[in-house]
Chains A and B, each alone.
Chain A
Amino acid sequence: MRNMSTAVLYNDQGGAEAAVEAGQESTPTTSSSGAAFGLFSTDFKKNEDLKEMLESNKESLKLEAMKRVVGLIAKGKNSSELFPAVVKNVASKNIELKKLVYVYLVRYAEEQQDLALLSISTFQRALKDPNQFIRASALRVLSSIRVPIIVPIMMLAIKEAAADLSPYVRKTSAHAIQKLYSLDPEQKEQLIEVIEKLLKDKSTLVAGSVVMAFEEVCPDRIDLIHKNYRKLCNLLVDVEEWGQVVIISMLTRYARTQFTSPWKEGAIFDENNDKTFYESDSEEKKEQTEAKPYIMDPDHRLLLRNTKPLLQSRNTAVVMSVAQLYWHLAPKHEVNIVTKSLVRLLRSHREVQYIVLQNIATMSIQRKGMFEPYMKSFYVRSTDATHIKTLKLEILTNLANEANISTILREFQTYVKSQDKAFAAATIQAIGRCATNISEVTDTCLNGLVLLLSNRDETVVAESVVVIKKLLQTQPTQHSEIIKHMAKLFDNITVPMARASILWLMGEYCERVPKIAPDVLRKMAKTFTAEEDIVKLQTVNLAAKLYLTNSKQTKLLTQYILNLGKYDQNYDIRDRTRFIRQLIVPNEKSGALNKYARRILLAPKPAPVLESAFKDRDRFQLGTLSHSLNVKAAGYQELSDWPAVAPDQSVRNVEVIEPVKEWAPLVGKTKKSKSEDKFYSDDEDEKEEEGSESSGSEDSSSSSSSDEESGSESEEESSEESDKTSSDSGKSSSGSEKSSSESEAEQKKKKKTKKAPLKKNKLTAGDSDSDENGNGPVAQSSSSSAESSSGSETDSEDDSDSDNIAAQKKKKSEAKSKPKVEVKSKKEVSLLDLDDFSPAPTNAPKSSVVSSSLLSDLEGLSLSNVSSTMQVTTPSFGPVKTYELLHHMTGKGLSAKYHFPRQPCLYQPSMVAVQVILTNSSDHSLEEIHIGDRSPASLNIHCFNTIERLEPEASVTVSMGIDFSDSTQAANFQLCTKEDQFSVSIQPAVGELLMPSTMTEEDFSKEQGKLLGMNETSATITMATANTSSQAIGKQVLSVANVGVVSSSQNNVHRFAGRTVSSGAVVLVSLEQKESCAALLTINTEKSVMASMLLRDLKQALAQA
């Protein structure tokens, strides 16, 4: 590996200090302690010798001795007689010695309680030490000493530590709570008080430990969580990984008691929700909310949203706990997002695989669809351990359906031939289960199993027989061929279970094989005494059944067998024989029963159900020990059912952190929760589409009823509040992060305030003017602070940059022509309002869409005196090229064309707007035109509304948005009608992935200066003579790319600027005309791939006339 080599390299070059660094990382050597232990292990009996060393005056000797003692403890050898000698060193100055003494104390204090008390005063003193580390370790050891007498001292220490300034000490006190509780459960009440106090702690360090203590001491005191619920949700991402696991599983339990079930409406709900994701039309949504009474509690949503990023954790336990949270809490259609992560865990260690597979097995019974796309990940490998193989088999069987059964069966065929016979047998059972579950393949499976009967391996044959027996039983049709075949094999089969099964089959279906059955009985009569018990029992059964159906041929044989059975050693067989004899052979005593013999013996029997071993596991919470063992483990907390009516949600409202006093009385309860939701969504790091959008839809659905005025007001308030809390959380964390989070908060504030004034534009233009001006400096200062703080997030820089530019531009344009701006921006307002309704908290794109849409209007103004042809605002510019999406021949009458309208996409700023013209050229009307599956699945498309009906010869234009993520990779999706599905794809030209932006010449050259070197692509091109005029150049460039023209002072230089739609990266195009037709075309952008593609396109466009 590289680390070794670099370390070596490093040693050569670095100074002494560096050498130490490098050395400690990578050179494995035997330490002095190790050597000492090695020496010692040979003569460990000399404990006397150790005692002397411990009592000596030399530190080094003591240390040496303690190391040996710890070695003894590690080996599990008793060294308790050294206690007095060791305990004396507890106050030692040498930290290593001290630590080793601690180790010893914790191990033996319980046995030597009186002596252990000697050390207590030392710890009490250490608890007051100014060094937090020493305080914490003293508390750790003090609470680990399991001596009941010191319980009051411990209690006191815990209480004090819980109020300590250092979060590390508080964390230790949370751990100590559990220790004290296990030592003396009487203290519960007092401990709960401490827990309550610590739960309020805002440090991420403490959160995990205190929740752990809560789980151990008072898991039923859910009421303690209410006030801390939102805080825990928000801190979750920053808590250390082990704490995350504990918190997530606690919150799962909490949520099940506090929220109503999101599953109530089942399938209908799914559909509805899918729609609401993309709906921006408030009208529609109103209807839907009316139709569907369930609205997810914003706190419920908060939990789901804040746990989602943790699916990407490296810690498998965290991923699993998020997965189980989604399984138990999320609406059905959202559970699927955990699939990928769970499948990823299958690459981890064997033990991890085992647990994950167990959980997947349980999940796959209920929800086949979740794992079906990943079926191949469950294919068994020859190197897998047996228990892994069996689990995979289980899952594959669960996943089997009509569509994939042939693939699965083919795979099973390979497994049957496996060298691992136990596994082969399990496979046969799995085949049996598939056969019963999917009636289409029953015959195929049966035939396959019959073929296996001629397998050389005994276990395989035996298992096949048993499974065939079960299958035949479920399918009591004409299978006499198979039964005959089995009768033939009977002689070769020696496994008792298989023989018994065949005999049973013969008896059960003896009327179908009237000739063979008696012959089998004859053979059995010969070998009866040598058979196993179960075989004997079935022989007796067979005899009885044959006697009833075919007494002529088998009477004597039956008598013979019954006689043999009568004197068998096994009393079961003797009893059975006696019973059967009474039942079938008519005599005086058993007259009554005899009549029913036929009905008793030959009654139709219910078929056995072949079902998964994981069927009943879902009674346990996934991911728990109980689930893994399928037994209720000690301390398992049941997951309660959803309450029918949600308990009062206001209990989670926190009054404590309320520096914003004004809003609380003003806003009603519902609104409060709504704004809360919003602020979390902005506050949090993540910005997945699903969560935010659906919450957005909820928002707007509720706010659509209220008038716009108040809606915007509440938003402002929420923004204010978010600032407060986010800066709060910043304070609780320490160091460099603090400043960065603060700057982020500032950022947010700025964004919010910016948004608000835009709305106010409607009222007064002057107002907005001052606001915008005020904004510029704020943005600048925050960006500079972000740069200076070491741990700053770079994206904040980008943000502020873009805002900066936007602000500057606005200023500029305002200066130029104020009244016009006012008119324009009024138009924009409605657009922006829409945007607000679906708050996609993507940072950069949002700000840029604001700027670009405004700019596009302003641009025309700034350019008006430069060139009259360019007056048309760029977004609507265009020799709009129309592309074919679906030809009417392939589309069975439906044809589709598309073009890029070059307008900012309404639905999401990061999307490229696409207009599709759908035409019906068939002779019948088409119904339900909509967009179906897309690939890649992650592709983010805003679909158009389903077109219910398209008459013949009619055409309709719909618009959609596609997030290409700045790549020219085609977006593939399906265009569906009621009957058909057509796969189509849209491949954007690189120029369509841009949005125009305007800037001054200075800004342009400044930006260009930043994007030199690797970010610059240039080429000398030859232009067609027709293109040499500046107008023509502009036209050609704009036809290729959606960029804005930058005014230029030089006649021979043309500049164009744009931004990529998705990421908002700046793209600068400059064209320097040289003599005659030659020109130097330069493109500056971070996206080097885009640059080269754009260059190619431009070159082509300019070369043609």
Chain B
Amino acid sequence: MIHSLFLINHTGDIFLEKHWKSVIGRSVCDYFFEAREKAVEPENVPPVLQTPHHYLISIYRGKLFFLSVIQTEVPPLFVIEFLHRVADTIQDYFGECSEGVIKDNVVTVYELLEEMLDNGFPLATESNVLKEMIRPPTILRSVVNTLTGASNVGDTLPTGQLSNVPWRRVGVKYTNNEAYFDVIEEIDAILDKSGTTVFAEIQGVIEACVRLTGMPDLTLSFMNPRLLDDVSFHPCVRFKRWESERVLSFIPPDGNFTLMNYHVSSQNLVAIPVYVKQSISFFETGPCGRLDITIGPKQTMGKTVEGLMVTIHMPKAVLSANLTATQGTYTYDLATKVLVWDIGKLNPQKLPNLKGSLTTQAGTPKPEDNPSLNIDLKIQQLAISGLKVSRLDMYGEKYKPFKGVKYLTKAGKFQIYIYMFIFLENLMSYLLFEWLQCVLKHSI
């Protein structure tokens, strides 16, 4: 299966390598570097590459490439999923998955990789099991270790490994028992210029943070489970109960985990929380254009829209922008041609507006391609699909846990098509300009 793993940073340095079978030389990465070169953007590197003797499957996460070397047929998703799991585990252990963190904890990372695969086949990927074998570093522990000579490595088989609930360790104890659930929904939408929804759907996820003593058996039920069109679960959720009763019944892992992902399809009407009035226009000739964007609330269910941010990928020809925002700040990145307008909280009384002129490269024709406008936003205490958790019951343990549910709506891939207008309203000046050009051309 997975033969070797190379971690490569964005400049193309291999800073960690791990082999689960015989050692494969670094030169195999050259094929990857070639593809990387060709792709220009790191995102565009094809995830699956073929070399004369090996196959390379890579993922790009946190400005790092996780490149695995394969020798024989294997489902590519198997490898990709595993690589992401490695990245997740590193993030879980050290808070982030970046080159710096991995370099700082290289031994722990290496030990983790050793445990995660055996002969290229995943052995232990549950974070719970791993944490019993290799404890995540903490200040306290390192102090204790230096004093007592204890180590970070467990010497017994993790309890999860053998049980039927490998995601939970035995003998969990807390003084405060709490179970929190975050229902986070993202709206994916494409709106056309008139504000009509071309496509909209809601992707939701329930993130759980469960710190309960013993072996609690939880049942989470919804007011309106019929909303959910498609779901995927953490392995702990019992399929059977869901199929028959539409409740989530599970023995939770200890700590943070993603309980379920769900999808509310476009068949149900998706509420679009904001509307955007925009016009970007360029004069047929002449080095300038105009931009005017206003954002207002649409269907917010009485909640405030926060963290509002507008990102516009401008046409390549736009040199600079001279704009004024009634609220928030804007930045225009000259290199990437990205205009970012950070608005913050949306005040329905005074709608934020961004207006001003754009300078295009002199002499070049008006840009023809459409910029796209992406919106980012957050609405606290609202699940836009209307999903509601009705209750959480616990069986199997005697104590009463603290329970809590939080809702959050975010914009996922929220995109608005922009159509630019080539203004001829200033026809006179345009004709004049044209005429001048003619005169100049003929006089020379």
- As a 0/1 sequence over residues 255 to 285 of chain B, the CB contacts with chain A under 8 angstroms (1 = contact) are 1101001010011000000000000000000
Least CB distance, B161 to chain A, in whole angstroms:
6
Let me know if B140 and A19 touch, CB within 8 A.
yes
A146 to B119, CA, bound (A): 12
| Cβ-neighbour of B162 out of A2, A97, A205, A382 (below 8 A) | A205
Interface size on B, residues (CB 8 A): 147
| Cβ-neighbour of B107 out of A34, A382, A631 (below 8 A) | A34
B-contacting 9-mer, from A555-563, A709-717, A788-796, A978-986: A788-796
A167 to B162, CA, bound (A): 8
Q: Which residue of A lies closest to B1 (CB)?
A: A212
Let me know if A23 and B110 touch, CB within 8 A.
no
Interface residues in B297-314 (C-beta closer than 8 Å to A): 313
Let me know if B215 and A791 touch, CB within 8 A.
yes
Please indicate the chain B residues that have their CB under 8 angstroms from the CB of A6 in the complex: 178, 180, 209, 211
Please indicate the chain A residues that have their CB under 8 angstroms from the CB of B154 in the complex: 95
Query: Given A2-B209, A312-B233, A967-B226, A381–B415 Cβ distance below 8 Å?
Result: yes
Please indicate the chain B residues that have their CB under 8 angstroms from the CB of A936 in the complex: 226, 267
Query: Given A38-B104, A103-B111, A314–B235 Cβ distance below 8 Å?
Result: yes
Looking at chain B's contact residues, the main secondary structure is mixed
Please tell me if A1084 contacts chain B, counting CB pairs below 8 Å: no
A18 to B74, CA, bound (A): 43
Q: Which residue of B lies closest to A378 (CB)?
A: B199
Let me know if A793 and B44 touch, CB within 8 A.
no
Q: Which residue of A lies closest to B135 (CB)?
A: A24
Let me know if A28 and B80 touch, CB within 8 A.
no
Least CB distance, B136 to chain A, in whole angstroms:
5
Please tell me if A1018 contacts chain B, counting CB pairs below 8 Å: no
A778 to B119, CA, bound (A): 49
Please tell me if B396 contacts chain A, counting CB pairs below 8 Å: yes
- As a 0/1 sequence over residues 450 to 483 of chain A, the CB contacts with chain B under 8 angstroms (1 = contact) are 0000011100000000000000000000000000
Please tell me if B230 contacts chain A, counting CB pairs below 8 Å: yes
Please indicate the chain B residues that have their CB under 8 angstroms from the CB of A455 in the complex: 368
- As a 0/1 sequence over residues 15 to 38 of chain A, the CB contacts with chain B under 8 angstroms (1 = contact) are 101111101111111111111011
Please tell me if B73 contacts chain A, counting CB pairs below 8 Å: yes
Least CB distance, A819 to chain B, in whole angstroms:
38
Query: Given A381-B190, A737-B165, A793–B47 Cβ distance below 8 Å?
Result: no
Let me know if A349 and B80 touch, CB within 8 A.
yes
Let me know if A791 and B44 touch, CB within 8 A.
no
Q: Which residue of A lies closest to B397 (CB)?
A: A790
Which of B81, B93, B153 has the largest number of chain A CB atoms within 10 A? B81
Please tell me if A184 contacts chain B, counting CB pairs below 8 Å: no
Interface residues in A337-387 (C-beta closer than 8 Å to B): 340-341, 343-344, 347, 349-352, 354-356, 376-377, 379, 381-383, 385-387
Let me know if A317 and B44 touch, CB within 8 A.
no
Please indicate the chain B residues that have their CB under 8 angstroms from the CB of A176 in the complex: 119
Please tell me if A628 contacts chain B, counting CB pairs below 8 Å: yes
Q: Which residue of B lies closest to A136 (CB)?
A: B157
Please tell me if A1046 contacts chain B, counting CB pairs below 8 Å: no
Let me know if A31 and B48 touch, CB within 8 A.
no
Please indicate the chain B residues that have their CB under 8 angstroms from the CB of A132 in the complex: 157
Interface size class of A (residues with CB under 8 A): 35 or more
Q: Which residue of A lies closest to B92 (CB)?
A: A25
Please indicate the chain B residues that have their CB under 8 angstroms from the CB of A354 in the complex: 46-48
A636 to B261, CA, bound (A): 33
Which of B78, B174, B365, B372 has the largest number of chain A CB atoms within 10 A? B78
Please indicate the chain A residues that have their CB under 8 angstroms from the CB of B438 in the complex: none
Query: Given A2-B406, A634-B71, A685-B239, A315–B81 Cβ distance below 8 Å?
Result: yes
A-contacting 9-mer, from B15-23, B287-295, B340-348: B15-23
Please tell me if B349 contacts chain A, counting CB pairs below 8 Å: no
- As a 0/1 sequence over residues 80 to 101 of chain B, the CB contacts with chain A under 8 angstroms (1 = contact) are 1110100000000111100001
A-contacting 9-mer, from B243-251, B378-386, B425-433: B243-251
Please indicate the chain A residues that have their CB under 8 angstroms from the CB of B146 in the complex: 32
A-B contact count (CB 8 A): 392
Please tell me if B316 contacts chain A, counting CB pairs below 8 Å: yes
Least CB distance, A312 to chain B, in whole angstroms:
5
Looking at chain A's contact residues, the main secondary structure is helix
Query: Given A34-B105, A790-B217, A20–B140 Cβ distance below 8 Å?
Result: yes
Let me know if B164 and A238 touch, CB within 8 A.
yes
Let me know if B73 and A70 touch, CB within 8 A.
no
A631 to B76, CA, bound (A): 14
Please indicate the chain A residues that have their CB under 8 angstroms from the CB of B44 in the complex: 385-387
Let me know if A309 and B239 touch, CB within 8 A.
yes
Least CB distance, A42 to chain B, in whole angstroms:
13
Please tell me if B30 contacts chain A, counting CB pairs below 8 Å: no
A316 to B261, CA, bound (A): 12
Please indicate the chain B residues that have their CB under 8 angstroms from the CB of A959 in the complex: none
Please indicate the chain B residues that have their CB under 8 angstroms from the CB of A60 in the complex: 149
A140 to B157, CA, bound (A): 14
Least CB distance, A121 to chain B, in whole angstroms:
21
Please tell me if A736 contacts chain B, counting CB pairs below 8 Å: yes
Interface residues in B119-166 (C-beta closer than 8 Å to A): 119, 121-123, 125, 131, 135-142, 145-146, 149, 151-157, 161-166
Please tell me if B351 contacts chain A, counting CB pairs below 8 Å: no
Query: Given A32-B146, A74-B18, A418-B369, A313–B233 Cβ distance below 8 Å?
Result: yes
Least CB distance, A849 to chain B, in whole angstroms:
14
Let me know if A17 and B173 touch, CB within 8 A.
yes
Please indicate the chain A residues that have their CB under 8 angstroms from the CB of B75 in the complex: 245, 249, 317, 320-321, 623-625
Let me know if B255 and A13 touch, CB within 8 A.
no
Query: Given A2-B209, A32-B142, A168–B80 Cβ distance below 8 Å?
Result: no
| Cβ-neighbour of B226 out of A209, A356, A969 (below 8 A) | A969
Please tell me if B232 contacts chain A, counting CB pairs below 8 Å: yes
Please indicate the chain B residues that have their CB under 8 angstroms from the CB of A146 in the complex: 22
Please tell me if A336 contacts chain B, counting CB pairs below 8 Å: no
Please indicate the chain A residues that have their CB under 8 angstroms from the CB of B114 in the complex: 99, 103
Please tell me if B413 contacts chain A, counting CB pairs below 8 Å: yes
Let me know if A352 and B173 touch, CB within 8 A.
no
A86 to B274, CA, bound (A): 64
Please tell me if A1063 contacts chain B, counting CB pairs below 8 Å: yes
Let me know if B105 and A30 touch, CB within 8 A.
yes
Let me know if A178 and B234 touch, CB within 8 A.
no
Let me know if A795 and B365 touch, CB within 8 A.
no
Least CB distance, A352 to chain B, in whole angstroms:
6
Please tell me if A144 contacts chain B, counting CB pairs below 8 Å: yes
Please tell me if B72 contacts chain A, counting CB pairs below 8 Å: yes
Interface residues in A562-597 (C-beta closer than 8 Å to B): none
Please tell me if A891 contacts chain B, counting CB pairs below 8 Å: no
Let me know if A793 and B141 touch, CB within 8 A.
no
Let me know if A28 and B233 touch, CB within 8 A.
no
Let me know if B199 and A376 touch, CB within 8 A.
yes
Let me know if A1063 and B245 touch, CB within 8 A.
yes
Let me know if B157 and A355 touch, CB within 8 A.
no
Let me know if A385 and B41 touch, CB within 8 A.
yes
Residue positions of B touching A, CB distance < 8 A = 1, 14-19, 21-23, 26, 39, 41, 43-44, 46-48, 50, 55, 58-61, 70-78, 80-82, 84, 93-96, 101, 103-111, 114, 118-119, 121-123, 125, 131, 135-142, 145-146, 149, 151-157, 161-166, 173-176, 178, 180, 182, 190, 198-199, 201, 203, 209, 211, 214-215, 217, 219, 223, 226, 229-235, 238-246, 249, 251, 255-256, 258, 261, 263, 266-267, 313, 315-316, 365, 368-372, 374, 390-391, 395-397, 406, 413, 415, 417
**What are 30 A-B contacts with C-beta separation under 8 Å?**
A29-B138, A33-B105, A34-B104, A34-B105, A38-B104, A67-B107, A74-B17, A100-B107, A140-B118, A168-B157, A205-B162, A240-B166, A242-B125, A245-B78, A309-B243, A314-B235, A321-B75, A347-B263, A351-B59, A377-B201, A419-B315, A625-B75, A626-B73, A633-B55, A790-B214, A844-B244, A936-B267, A967-B226, A969-B226, A1089-B223
* 18 more A-B residue pairs beyond the given contacts A19-B140, A242-B122, with a C-beta to C-beta distance below 8 A: A14-B175, A30-B105, A34-B104, A95-B151, A110-B22, A131-B157, A136-B157, A314-B234, A320-B75, A350-B43, A387-B44, A414-B417, A419-B313, A419-B316, A628-B48, A634-B73, A844-B244, A1014-B391
